[in-house]
Amino acid sequence: MAALSSAREVELALRSQLGRYNKTNLRSEDFPIASVVEACSRAGRLDASVAGGEIPSENTSRVYKLWKALPSQLPTELTSLGA
C-alpha cells in the first residue's frame, strides 16, 4: 500500500476501497473488530519509531494509548488491547 500523506488522501483511499465513506457517520460493518486490533498494534509500532517522547517530532498516532487506558470499557473482542 502506498503511503498516504494527508487526511484527504486517506479519505479518498477509504472511499475508493469501501465505495463510500463519511467520517461523521461511520458504518461498523466497514471496520470489523479484527481491523481495530491491527490498527492499534500498528499505531503502537509507529509511535515507538518516532522520536520526541510526549511531544513527537513527526506525525504519529496515539489512539492505542486510549484503548490501553480504558481496558474495562473494551468489548470482549478487544480486551487484548488493554494489556
Q: What is the pLDDT of residues 8-25, one digit of tens each?
A: 998 999 899 888 888 899
Q: What is the pLDDT of residues 11-66, one digit of tens each?
A: 999 899 888 888 899 888 888 888 888 888 888 888 888 888 888 888 888 888 88
Q: H/E element holding 17?
A: helix 7-18
Q: How far is residue 64's CA from residue 81's CA, in Å, rounded to a whole number?
A: 8
Q: Please tell me whether residue 22 adopts helix, strand or coil conformation.
A: coil
Amino acid at the residue 43: A
Please indicate, yes or no, whether residues 43 and 10 belong to a single structural domain of this protein. no
Please indicate, yes or no, whether residues 39 and 6 belong to a single structural domain of this protein. no
Please indicate, yes or no, whether residues 49 and 22 belong to a single structural domain of this protein. no
Q: How many domains does the chain have?
A: 2
Q: How far is residue 64's CA from residue 83's CA, in Å, rounded to a whole number?
A: 11
Please indicate, yes or no, whether residues 38 and 57 belong to a single structural domain of this protein. yes
Q: Which string of DSSP letters, residue by residue, matches 15-47?
A: HHHHS---TTS--GGGS-HHHHHHHHHHHHHHH
Please indicate, yes or no, whether residues 42 and 59 belong to a single structural domain of this protein. yes
Please indicate, yes or no, whether residues 78 and 60 belong to a single structural domain of this protein. yes
Specify whether the CB–CB gap between 64 and 37 falls below 8 A. no
Find the domain containing 61 and state its range: 32-82
Please indicate, yes or no, whether residues 44 and 67 belong to a single structural domain of this protein. yes
